Amino acid sequence: MWHKRDDMIVHETDPYNAEPPRLGLHDPITTPDSFYVRNHGPVPENDPGDWAVTVDGLVDESASFTPERLREEFTHHTLTATMQCAGNRRAGFLPVRDIPGEDPWGPGATSTAPWTGARLCDVLRSVGVADGARHVEFTASDVSDLADPPQAYGGSIPLAKALSSEVLLAWAMNSEPLPLVHGAPVRVVVPGYVGARSVKWLRGITVRADPSENYFQATAYRVLPPEADPDHAGPGDGISLGSVALNCDILSPEEHEHVPGGPVRVTGYAYAGDDRTVARMDVSGDDGRTWHQAELDAAASPWAWQHWEALVPVTGAGSHVLMARAWDSTGACQPESPRALWNPKGYVNNSWARVEVTVE
Amino acid sequence: MWHKRDDMIVHETDPYNAEPPRLGLHDPITTPDSFYVRNHGPVPENDPGDWAVTVDGLVDESASFTPERLREEFTHHTLTATMQCAGNRRAGFLPVRDIPGEDPWGPGATSTAPWTGARLCDVLRSVGVADGARHVEFTASDVSDLADPPQAYGGSIPLAKALSSEVLLAWAMNSEPLPLVHGAPVRVVVPGYVGARSVKWLRGITVRADPSENYFQATAYRVLPPEADPDHAGPGDGISLGSVALNCDILSPEEHEHVPGGPVRVTGYAYAGDDRTVARMDVSGDDGRTWHQAELDAAASPWAWQHWEALVPVTGAGSHVLMARAWDSTGACQPESPRALWNPKGYVNNSWARVEVTVE
């Protein structure tokens, strides 16, 4: 049904949820067999021959687009964009406090690919956006029993974002047809937003006055205060997630790797969602006492992560913590510790990256 | 030449640099006599009869606008927007390390007013923006000897921001003619950006391919790494400041105030620049061990700060540190400590707010 690298870290098999090891993230473009997968229900067994995406709600005229019609009627665009799960780096919260019922995603719940498809703004303009429109809802065909009662996965984005040039209805990834596990035949790609809004197996687009009432928009994917009981959270509780917060992680060395003393080559990724960019990257080899600026690679697009590299002195046999922190284009830095950021669903751990290594 | 409240905290008299005490910031709209002032040179003694703003560079046709012509030819718009200096809360850095040559701004280098003027986008469209335009430079008439050789103050913003509906060429503040110390007869107001880009005493607008080469854009108002020597920083060094980073402070109680034990009413402001909003506000009365969510007032506009209030238990006679931290609409929180954020010019101290009080 899909092919992933053998060393994929599988958090769940049903629904399939998996992230690549750090090794799978070393390149600016993630290969499809390394690309992380976050599912909320079984991958639907779709018959592409029967597929259509309806567009309705606050539009001048409702319409229905088969994948062929999307390809034929709209200009094709390819954009390299990073997808990042709101739960990326959740495992960093676990030393603070356990997070029952949620997968312990490491630094691999993020990946980058060139996506090809039609611009959502072109599709919306073709049907006409009516007065009062403020949000655009996406509905998928995968049904999740995380919602009670079970519900098709869905979510929404503000109309202004939907009308931006970067949001795609994509049918290809890495110049190949979109794999089923990544949302074939058609998925949404919302660059700069948490992955949850990039709805796969897209069946419906509804232009609305208000955000979607779908469970995954109204109730899930929200940062609750630490004292909240997520089992009793209601629609509207907490902070609804949209743009991705500034984040980074270390890709090499690996956690618990043995390294020779002296300068250690430290690499990683950094990403700032939406209109922010990564402006500086600091790396420390002495538990944060001194910091060295990393070389930042150019981003493949304004919507893609950046890889970085630094040579950092690590001296003295024994255990050392390598640390990394990103600064964004507002001059703001990531928060230091996951302690203050812990929340009941484990979202947005954007604290400084830490990897423990042993100097031989 | 201008009137400010008697208890203004004057950091410098020449050029005049002053912030209101916390008391002056309690209202959603700051009165003109409380509004902070950040100058880089003497307030120019302008003859408004002789005033004109030239628009040139990458435009279809250069033009020159007297204040009267701006008023007559363009629709008037009023927008409530917060102005925030990049050095707001700099004093919080001083316990970490001294910052020679810079004023120790407290939490009052921020204020909010309704501004009235013409939209910059309307003015730019009237002259036509030419191909290749990417940035819009503003030049003032105040000359600063912080630059060597002394230079008229200036800066620039990206064209996309300049074409947004929120950037104004303002001639009024709080429904009154703009006071001279705040930039009369015409100033720029760039909501969501650090105050440095809201150029006062505006004389020139130049549409450019690149950011301004003015000292205050190319060299100053940049976050340098801690080891940098600001006296030898060159153009392009460090992170150029644009959008304001998420920030907050406590307005009441005052620092070192004596309070009765029990629930203490804590108030303050919070602000997220550009497209972010303040999504949650936490307050602690026990040095950060437990946190209480504050009530957030509605913002006067998408470009204005929000005031907040919480009743927080503070128990046990003696010294206590009240703390406050804001969360933005991406689910990200402010960094905890100023220690990691210290930089040679003392910009962007957006660490958690702290006020020490004594319980009687």
Residue B122, pLDDT score:
98
Contact A331 B223 (CB under 8 A): yes
Nearest C-alpha neighbor of A111 from the set A183, A32, A40, A44 = A32
Task: Say if residue A185 is preceded by a cis peptide, omega within 30 of 0.
Answer: yes
Query: Using CB atoms, which residue from B246, B280, B347 is nearest to A239?
Result: B280
Residue A143 has phi, psi (to 5 degrees) of -105, 135
Q: Give the residue from A89, A330, A345 with the most B CB atoms within 10 Å of its CB, the best one to mutate.
A: A330
Contact B330 A243 (CB under 8 A): yes
Contact A239 B329 (CB under 8 A): yes
CA atoms within 13 A on the CB side of B335: 24
Chain B residues touching residue A93 (CB < 8 angstroms): none
> B235-252 pLDDT, tens per residue?
999 999 999 999 999 999
Query: Using CB atoms, which residue from B223, B225, B340 is nearest to A336?
Result: B340
CA distance A279 to chain B (A): 6
Residue B63, pLDDT score:
98
Residue A2, pLDDT score:
74
What confidence category does residue A305 fall into, taking pLDDT thresholds of 50, 70 and 90? very high
> A226-285 pLDDT, tens per residue?
999 999 998 999 999 999 999 999 999 999 999 998 899 999 999 999 889 999 999 999
CA distance A175 to chain B (A): 31
Examine the pLDDT at A46 and tell me if it is beyond 80.
no
Contact A340 B333 (CB under 8 A): yes
Residue B8 has phi, psi (to 5 degrees) of -55, 140
> Which residue blocks in chain A are alpha helix, DSSP H?
67-73, 120-127, 159-162, 215-218
**Which chain A residue has its CA at the smallest distance from B293's CA?**
A225
Residue B203, pLDDT score:
96
CA distance A75 to chain B (A): 24
CA distance B26 to chain A (A): 26
Contact B337 A341 (CB under 8 A): no
Residue A275, pLDDT score:
86
Residue A257, pLDDT score:
96
A and B: number of Cβ contacts within 8 A? 99
Chain B residues touching residue A246 (CB < 8 angstroms): 332
Which of A74-83, A351-360, B41-50, B305-314 has the lowest average pLDDT?
A: B41-50
Query: Using CB atoms, which residue from B244, B333, B340 is nearest to A330?
Result: B244
Residue A221, pLDDT score:
97
At CB < 8 Å, which residues of chain B contact A?
Answer: 86, 223, 225-226, 239-246, 273-276, 279-280, 282, 288, 291, 293, 325, 327-337, 340-341, 347-348, 350
Distance CA B86, CA B216 (A): 12
Chain B residues touching residue A86 (CB < 8 angstroms): 331
Residue B45, pLDDT score:
82
C-alpha dihedral (A148, A85, A19, A318), degrees to nearest 10: -120
Question: Domains in chain A, please, with CATH?
Answer: 42-86+114-240 (3.90.420.10), 247-359 (2.60.40.650)
> A145-177 pLDDT, tens per residue?
999 999 999 999 999 999 999 999 999 999 999
Q: How many percent of chain A have pLDDT more than 90?
A: 93
Query: Using CB atoms, which residue from A225, A226, A333 is nearest to B341?
Result: A333
Residue A48, pLDDT score:
67
Q: How many percent of chain A have pLDDT more than 70?
A: 99
Query: Using CB atoms, which residue from B245, B282, B333 is nearest to A335?
Result: B333
> B201-210 pLDDT, tens per residue?
999 999 999 9
Q: Determine the average pLDDT of the residues in A202-217.
A: 98
Distance CA B181, CA B190 (A): 17
Residues of chain B with pLDDT under 70: 1, 46, 48
